[in-house]
Chain A
């Protein structure tokens, strides 16, 4: 079984997690830039974080045979802090990097004017750089947040089919699916979505454009939730092809819209050639 976690914050996870993920079949992941729990106070700490997502974290992942890509953005929560907003001016030089496969996480947290502005600006940046966008839906007032998110995308130059709307649930899936966007579900131990509800949603809405992630971070979360969903899908009568579609081919297709997904990974060899990584083609 090959699995792709399309949303996980490995910066907050240990090497034990990497090892367990690889053993569970996870061969690729995307790490979206997000809030670190502790608020940042300057663009400089964003830049060090971005550098880490383009340097150290892929190195760690490769040691466990996992391909690591990232999405970069000013997250919605910190878009409200004027001390951090200047990071928007730095993003263009980062969005050209090889391992950046989307702009994200963008979207709404409290639905403020500052968030409107950051979301619009970053949807435009995605368009300008030929990247899709990973858009988070808010924890609070989710359905209203989804509608405002979809409106923002419709007002932007980025086509809806280049947008992954994440953290969906039973109340938001239908409107999101009708919009034509890609559908992301974060499976958590006890909040956003669990594997049983996920399987029910797959049964009701089908696997098309559905991506399942663990969104594991520094909070109560589980980096093996993609595997848990795969196992339950099989137990509930879905085929291996269904599992492969939702947990491998869909994320490959979505992030592949960037033209930058490179899925062949070998542990870094330390010779002068260094690059034993073959080009991905799946």
Chain B
């Protein structure tokens, strides 16, 4: 596994550093308290847990530039498992759903959270698609779904840099190469530009590609 070096997968430490660098002391303090609360009271009492409320309000408390990091760390501090992540995803705004997707590789080891990734890949919301193709998808999506996820990124304008484990999973994938070639032909026939990332992925998937890391 070389996913930790993917641009698509910031480590928890990188997220903590990002939050610690927040210019507003009040926002830093809010984050500190929210994380402590999630760690101390991960369980439910009442209709909604305290950390789920913090998750919902993270955008207005610490600003949209830091909300992803705060939300992923809250989910991590609360040790949210598949059931809690599924609930938060289903009841969440697009921003909360995105955070759940970003948190998956840190919180779920098996494939049981895949329905959330599949749900996000059915949307046309590029914020969700980009978060769905992270290391969790690289680890668990089957070949057919993964190839379609790559193609969907190219269709919707999500840079292929967002796709975790791209080189490893695309390596010598003849079917992916065929799909990309067909897509390029379709675009060319229509006199439309071919997305720039396509040829990069094609180079990885083609038979002549040698493994690089």
- What residues of chain A have their CB less than 8 Å away from a CB belonging to chain B? 51, 54-56, 58-59, 92-93, 96-99, 259-260, 262, 268, 270-279
Contact = CB atoms under 8 A, between A and B. Distances in A.
Contacts of B95: 98, 275
B210 to A, nearest CB: 27
A272 B47 contact: no
A96 B130 contact: no
Contact of B64 (A51, A55, A97, A277): A277
A255 to B, nearest CB: 13
List 6 tightest A-B contacts by C-beta distance, closest first.
Answer: A98-B59, A55-B94, A270-B158, A54-B93, A277-B64, A279-B63
Contact of B162 (A92, A93, A270, A278): A270
A271 B94 contact: no
B94 A272 contact: no
13 contacts: A56-B123, A96-B57, A97-B93, A98-B60, A98-B95, A99-B93, A262-B60, A268-B125, A270-B127, A270-B159, A271-B7, A272-B8, A272-B9
A278 B64 contact: yes
Contacts of B94: 54-56, 58-59
Of A93, A272, A273, A278, the most chain B CB neighbours within 10 A belong to A272
A51 B67 CA distance: 19
Nearest to A98: B59
Contacts of B68: 273-275
Contacts of A99: 59, 93
Given A259-B60, A260-B60, A270 B126 contact: yes
A178 B7 CA distance: 58
Main secondary structure on chain A at its contact with chain B? Answer: loop
A270 B64 contact: no
A234 B134 CA distance: 52
B127 to A, nearest CB: 5
B127 A59 contact: yes
Contacts of A92: 47-48
B125 A59 contact: yes
A265 to B, nearest CB: 10
Given A98-B59, A274-B130, A277-B65, A93 B47 contact: yes
Given A274-B98, A279-B64, A98 B162 contact: no
B74 to A, nearest CB: 14
B20 to A, nearest CB: 17
B53 interface: yes
A262 B59 contact: yes
Interface in B41-99: 47-48, 53, 56-60, 63-65, 67-68, 91, 93-95, 97-98
B127 A274 contact: yes
B11 to A, nearest CB: 12
Contact of B93 (A98, A275, A279): A98
Nearest to B59: A98
Given A56-B125, A271-B159, A262 B57 contact: no
Interface in B88-114: 91, 93-95, 97-98, 102
B161 to A, nearest CB: 7
